[in-house]
Structure 1
């Protein structure tokens, strides 16, 4: 009986020692800064913890896939790691990396559309930035379901996409998000103009159509106010625009 008790004490001591050593080892791993320069990684949608761990190991951002997996299991963070494009800081440790992937704040890029850009030019700019292909853009902007969702009385988005600078992150929905941001900005600008000219009875589609005609008629920007004034007078008198 005495020997059995000694064996149990020995096994318990060994188990506790092993747990303490494992805990210290995992603690050191979790707080150990990587020695790589700032590194950009891409976590694709649907990536498993195994795939994410493999990506980090390939970039030498972690020195143990096993420890990183165990750390995630203990923190129960594997289900909250988000897809995206991330810049991992030069001094990031595994805990920092997990926090970055949990927050899901992807790298941000900018794309600018100058005033007067046509739908074709917007499409080409997005394709040049590799945000989407020209075919993908055309499908998105002409889909009946989208036009219905956006509540536009038109078969094209020509004139509805407001030219400005927009931020985006590299993901599969980037093109949709930029288009919707341009539409939202355009709607906001229209409301501001409408509020500044409450007597105007034209709706957004009519104003955009008129603006398009003025743009085509004008030889330069300076001529636009004059042409607009002529058209406004004709409309007030219920005359044809004769354009």
Structure 2
């Protein structure tokens, strides 16, 4: 009986000593090899592999106590992938809190208003922090991968800055940008002005992409949209150069010629009435809102002044005078 009690006391003493050591161990800061110290946790990494990685780097004294700590605290499955930066000496407990809260250094990528999908894809392909899962896919294959139902990718992705953890898939970025655009477009469509000559949100997206390419100054955006809305209502040709340029594709050398305006193709709004079949660029939210709530104007024409602004006219004779004044001087 005495032997059993002694063993029990020894076991309890050992348990408390181990507990005290563990508490001291996990709360004692380790010396970083360099300050600041940067490391990455790849998606799908196990806690054991992460602990081994940090032990080999000199951040942890040993891997097993870190794994044990994570299990005792119940956060073993909560580690977040990403890029981390440690600016000062840190204890294992503090480190565990950092990587389970996801206190990471995020990478970013910017999609700009007026870009084509080709420009967007090139930016994705060249970003060093992304995993390039779409690089060998066609546009249609990308749309199916992200769950989009459209058949043309142009204009479907909202231009904005997107933050992500290093090693994220480029498909995940595209999916986010697609859904952001859908949400903005649906909300704007719900608040649209009455009696617009637009059948659905996709037509609004097409016209918004044209307004995006035609607008030099924010103050003109609603008026430019108003002119195009008036032309659609009157069954007039839109006669907008950016659609012709888009249709020319790689054939466009920077100089739009008269023969280009006269040669029929599906994006030539000088030879075909109505909207082109798809957007021609990424429209921003301002262009979408301008199209769905355009300025109330009787203008049917506009011409660039050369300083970023546009001159608007109701009658063709006035428009021709403005062209002579601003374009032919």
Shorter-chain TM-score category? 0.7 to 0.9
Paired residues for 1:108-123 under 5 Å: 108-123=106-121
Question: Which residue does the alignment assign to 2:235?
Answer: 238
TM-score normalised over the length of structure 2: 0.59
Q: Which residue of 2 aligns with 1:208?
A: 205
1:73 alignment partner in structure 2 = 71
Cα distance in structure 2, aligned partners of 1:57 and 1:32: 15
Alignment equivalent of 2:37, drawn from 29, 36, 39? 39
Counterpart secondary structure, 2:137: helix
Task: Report matched runs for 1:121-136 at 5 Å.
Answer: 121-130=119-128, 131-133=130-132, 136=134
Q: Deviations over 1:60-87 (max 9, x none)?
A: 2211223223323333432333333333
Distance in 1 (alpha carbons) for counterparts of 2:44 and 2:131: 20
Alpha-carbon distance between aligned partners in 1 of 2:235 and 2:197, rounded to the nearest angstrom = 13
- For the residues of structure 2 that align with 1:231 and 1:103, how far apart are their CA atoms? 50
**C-alpha distance in structure 2 between counterparts of 1:59 and 1:140, whole Å:** 41
Q: Relative to total residues, which structure has the larger helix share, 1 or 2?
A: 1
Contact 1:140/1:176 (8 A) holds in 2? no
Name the residue aligned to 1:179: 174
**Aligned residue number for residue 144 of structure 2:** 145
Q: Structure 2: any 5+ residue segments left out of the alignment?
A: 239-268, 271-329
Q: Aligned-pair distance for 1:57?
A: 0.7
- In structure 2, the CA distance between the partners of 1:198 and 1:188, relative to structure 1 (3 Å rule), is farther
List gaps (5 residues or longer) in structure 1.
none
Equivalent residue, structure 2, for 1:64: 62
Matching of residues 48-59 of structure 1 within 5 Å: 48-59=46-57
Secondary structure of 2:10's counterpart equals helix
Aligned position for 2:247: none
Matched, 1:159 2:155: yes
Alpha-carbon spacing, 1:26–1:214, altered in 2? closer, same or farther (3 Å): closer
Q: Is the 8 A contact 2:111 2:161 kept in 1?
A: yes
Distance of 2:212 and 2:26 partners within structure 1: 61
Distance in 2 (CA, whole Å) between partners of 1:235 and 1:227 is 13
The offset of 1:146, in angstroms, is 4.3
Which whole-Å deviations, capped at 9, do the CAs of 1:37-66 have from their partners, x for residues lacking one? 343322223322321110111222211223
Corresponding residue of 2:265: none
Matched length = 232
